[in-house]
């Protein structure tokens, strides 16, 4: 009998509904109790807050903020905070849903959570960003904690912003509480390797799985949509390993050179552009790779359809949809962004024999090193960068191999295999609290 996971809300949010639909195929391969299914139908808690901020010109603006804890059966909630104009409760719930399965897939003692504020952060001054970040913590302080829900950086948030948040929480609680936030500056209890953890983890997964298809660095071309802090770091790692990165893009557009791009030069260019424009270089990178005139300029949409071996969506959700999936020419896709491929696009890609490695595995390096940071904060013992890299590689390679083995054994996609792997762990933890079969004697 096929098990399904319906949503309980009268009008299911589209993003969350799309995210949960991915479980249907996995549920056919796991023996999940009805109790476990019931608990995974909807978020455990969702919080919406208004954040008043006094702007530099004296005016008052009120921003909308969110924090969602989807499930905490395996441990405290864990998830980032993003600053972006597209942030909605629907999006944050979907991201918290993915975090739940990501933590289970990597066998971390966390549940899934996520947060965000709806704004364009580049429009705010540094002082305004600090007041906003501290105001967000003022609003959600009773909803989070080192043993309840732990924050981390996400889109357009970084170590400094995380430091402000940790400091504000400590002020409210009247005690230094470094473990409430990960991704902090090293001087405030941050972990070595956290800023590049998502990229490093994605690199570990790619270099573990691509050789299974005889894709060696010298004969593999790669296009990366998204040249932010994750995409740029991943591009550098791949370039250094000998892979041919032929296209990259940011929010303003992209560049393409079939002979390969000089990734270090492009990263240096972006940094120089920021410095020359006297923008918020210590907080955000605003230079655009599409302004490098000696390369062919392509749009973000065009980059997705380039004739390359590997496509890496590392930007926003819903980039590969039913409308453009048939135009994808890459042979392999590694999802570094959260939810870059819609459920309606999956069968179209499969029909073209395009192999896809899902986001909950590929981008799990961030939450894994966040776990390391949380452990270090609580123990007071800190590891070196080589130790962090080795621990991360061990985790990512082990779970990539385990997911690959499930996919081969069950003859499923890697996405379904990842959800099977995570559901088995989640189901075991949920059922450990007792099920109907335990309480009712047959």
Token code pair at residue 285 = 């990178």
The CA distance from 396 to 205, in Å, is 6
**Extended beta strands in 238-365, E state:** 244-250, 253-256, 296-298, 310-313, 332-334, 355-357
Annotation says 395 is catalytic: no
Q: Which of 227, 295, 291 lies closest to 261, judged by CA?
A: 295
What is the DSSP code (8-state) at residue 340? -
The CA distance from 87 to 117, in Å, is 6
The CA distance from 190 to 183, in Å, is 6
The CA distance from 294 to 275, in Å, is 21
Token code pair at residue 39 = 């608990």
**CB atoms closer than 10 angstroms to residue 247:** 28
Asked if 233 contacts 203 with a C-beta cutoff of 8 angstroms, the reply is no
Q: Which of 44, 78, 102, 114 is catalytic?
A: 114
The CA distance from 343 to 340, in Å, is 10
Instruction: Calculate the dihedral angle through the C-alpha atoms of 157, 163, 168, 172, rounding to the nearest 10 degrees.
Output: 120
DSSP states of 181-208 as a string?
BSS--GGGT--TT-TTHHHHHHHHHHHH
Asked whether the CA dihedral 244, 318, 81, 110 is positive or negative, the reply is negative
Burial group, residue 171, by CB count within 10 angstroms (0-12, 13-18, 19+): middle
Asked if 388 contacts 193 with a C-beta cutoff of 8 angstroms, the reply is yes
Active site residues: 114
């Amino acid at each position: 009998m096929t098990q399904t996971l319906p949503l309980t809300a009268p009008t299911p949010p589209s993003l969350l509904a799309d995210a949960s639909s991915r479980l249907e195929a996995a549920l056919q391969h796991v023996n999940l109790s009805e109790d476990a299914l019931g608990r995974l139908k909807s978020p455990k808690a969702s919080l919406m807050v208004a954040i008043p901020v006094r702007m530099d010109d004296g005016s008052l603006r009120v921003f909308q903020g969110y924090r969602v804890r989807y499930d905490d059966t395996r441990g405290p909630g864990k998830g980032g905070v993003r600053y972006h104009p597209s942030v909605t409760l629907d999006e944050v719930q979907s991201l918290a849903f993915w975090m739940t399965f990501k933590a289970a897939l990597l066998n971390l003692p966390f549940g899934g959570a996520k947060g965000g504020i709806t704004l364009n952060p580049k429009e705010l001054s540094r002082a305004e960003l600090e007041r906003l970040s501290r105001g967000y913590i003022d609003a959600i302080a009773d909803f989070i904690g080192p043993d309840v829900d732990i924050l981390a950086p996400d889109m357009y948030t970084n170590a400094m912003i995380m430091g402000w948040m940790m400091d504000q929480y400590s002020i409210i609680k009247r005690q230094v509480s470094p473990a409430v936030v990960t991704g902090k500056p090293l001087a405030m209890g941050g972990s070595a390797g956290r800023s590049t953890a998502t990229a490093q983890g994605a690199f570990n997964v790619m270099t573990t799985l691509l050789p299974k298809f005889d894709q060696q660095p010298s004969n593999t071309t790669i296009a990366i949509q998204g040249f932010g802090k994750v995409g740029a770091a991943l591009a550098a790692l791949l370039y250094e390993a000998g892979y041919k990165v032929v296209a990259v893009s940011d929010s303003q557009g992209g560049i393409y050179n079939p002979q390969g791009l000089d990734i270090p030069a492009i990263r240096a260019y972006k940094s120089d552009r920021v410095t020359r424009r006297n923008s918020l270089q210590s907080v955000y990178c605003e230079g655009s790779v599409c302004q490098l005139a000696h390369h062919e300029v392509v749009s973000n949409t065009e980059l997705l359809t380039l004739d390359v071996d590997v496509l890496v969506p590392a930007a926003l959700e819903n980039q590969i949809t039913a409308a453009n999936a048939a135009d994808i020419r890459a042979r392999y896709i590694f999802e570094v962004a959260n939810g870059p491929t819609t459920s309606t696009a999956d069968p179209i890609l499969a029909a073209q024999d395009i192999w896809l490695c899902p986001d909950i595995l590929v981008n799990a390096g961030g939450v894994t090193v966040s776990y390391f940071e949380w452990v270090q904060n609580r123990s007071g013992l800190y590891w070196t960068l080589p130790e962090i890299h080795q621990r991360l590689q061990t985790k990512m390679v082990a779970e990539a191999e385990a997911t690959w083995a499930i996919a081969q054994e069950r003859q499923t996609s890697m996405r379904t295999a990842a959800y099977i792997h995570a559901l088995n762990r989640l189901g075991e933890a949920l059922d450990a609290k007792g099920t109907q079969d335990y309480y009712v004697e047959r």
